[in-house]
Amino acid sequence: MTPARRERLFSVVLILPAFLFVLIFAFFPIVHSFWLSLHRIVLGLPGLGEPFVGAENYIELLNDRVALRAVKNTFLFVFVSTFFEILFGLLIALVIHERFKGRGIVRASVLVPWAVPTVVSSQMWRFIFNDKYGLINFLFFGGDVNAYRAWLADPVYAFVAIVVADVWKTSAFAALLILAGLQAIPEDLYEAAKVDGAGWWQRFFKITLPLLRPALLIALLFRTMDAFRVFDLVFVMTQGGPADSTNVLQFYGYKKIFAEGMMGYGSAVSVLVFLISFVVSMFYVRMIGKRMFR
């Protein structure tokens, strides 16, 4: 065996465990979910069997008003939460990128919300928006308990509540990615711009933003994919209510599978979430590639 062939064989041996891991824990569940979505499976009713129905679950999904409302809620949640997370992440990154006394402590404290488990932070925000003893009511109405508002019982305010909770938790993650992009920008560019008389806004729009676009797109990609998979936040805070105003696709699929036992239909919902996430991620990846390699 030649040294070149031996080296290729050694590289295959090194890659094989990672490939098998991805194949077993990523590709197989996707393929199996798609296979389940092509069947009529109702848990608890084994007498019905598992008949093959083809695209019937998907056709039913397209005519399901609750599912279509969940799609709308999901896209709205993704757009609003991602927009504010990138915006606040950029502001946080610009602040902690500057040199000042105690910067290390500030950077560490900024990451605390992101380090808190989502279930814990969701429960915390559920208490904050509670209609009887929540902090939000106390801040707005003080001790006047008769004026307290049931925030999570109102369709609009409930949706705003889950967006606020998500933005509070994950803006720090976006800030971390953007900060890495900021630190990669050479300081010489700023010094040269200062010599030429460029102000802070000119340096920001002419140097920082153009060179920060790849980092912003990467942060946007990660946050968008994560927002499409939102589940635990809705599960803890609102259970999809009131009146399905916070019902998102992942939670709707969970209810169909585990609450109603409709395994095939719930799998179709999961496949829909995967397809949407895949298409959006491919779009972002192409954008990132054009920005980084043009």
How many of the other CB atoms lie within 10 Å of CB of 177?
Answer: 20
d(CA 228, CA 77): 8
In a domain, 132, yes or no: yes
Asked if residue 241 lies in contact with residue 158, where contact means CB atoms within 8 angstroms, the answer is yes
Helix (H) or strand (E) segment spanning residue 170 = helix 155-183
The 10s digit of each residue's pLDDT in 204-215 is 888 888 888 888
d(CA 17, CA 43): 35
In a domain, 31, yes or no: no
Residue range of the domain that includes 282: 38-293
d(CA 171, CA 82): 9
Angle at 115 between CA 114 and CA 116, to 5 degrees: 95
Give Cα separations from 60 to 20, 69, 89, 204, 263 (angstroms).
35, 14, 40, 50, 14
In a domain, 288, yes or no: yes
Counting the structural domains of the chain, the total is 1
At residue 124, the pLDDT reads 94
Closest CA to 247 of 121, 167, 165, 158: 158
Taking the model in full, what pTM does it have? 0.88
Q: What is the mean pLDDT of residues 16-43?
A: 87
At residue 289, the pLDDT reads 62
In a domain, 3, yes or no: no
At residue 101, the pLDDT reads 84
Q: What is the percent of the chain with per-residue pLDDT over 90, rounded to a whole number?
A: 37
At residue 27, the pLDDT reads 85
In a domain, 5, yes or no: no
In a domain, 30, yes or no: no
Which residue has tokens 């910067």?
103
Mean of the per-residue pLDDT values of the chain = 87
Compute the Cα dihedral for 128, 132, 137, 138 and give only its sign. negative
Does residue 87 surpass a pLDDT of 90? yes
The 10s digit of each residue's pLDDT in 198-257 is 888 888 888 888 888 888 888 988 899 889 989 999 999 999 988 899 999 999 999 998
The 10s digit of each residue's pLDDT in 179-208 is 989 988 888 888 888 888 888 888 888 888
Q: Phi, psi at residue 100, to the nearest 5°? A: -155, 165
Amino acid letter at 239? Q
At residue 58, the pLDDT reads 92
Does residue 293 surpass a pLDDT of 50? no
The 10s digit of each residue's pLDDT in 118-144 is 999 999 999 999 988 888 998 888 877
Give Cα separations from 68 to 73, 80, 252 (angstroms).
9, 18, 11
Angle at 165 between CA 164 and CA 169, to 5 degrees: 115
CATH of the domain at 153: 1.10.3720.10
The 10s digit of each residue's pLDDT in 148-167 is 888 999 999 999 999 999 99
* Peptide linkage before 29 cis (omega within 30 of 0): no
Does residue 288 surpass a pLDDT of 70? no
In a domain, 243, yes or no: yes
pLDDT band at 291 (very low <50, low <70, confident <90, very high): low
Q: What is the percent of the chain with per-residue pLDDT over 70, rounded to a whole number?
A: 96
In a domain, 76, yes or no: yes
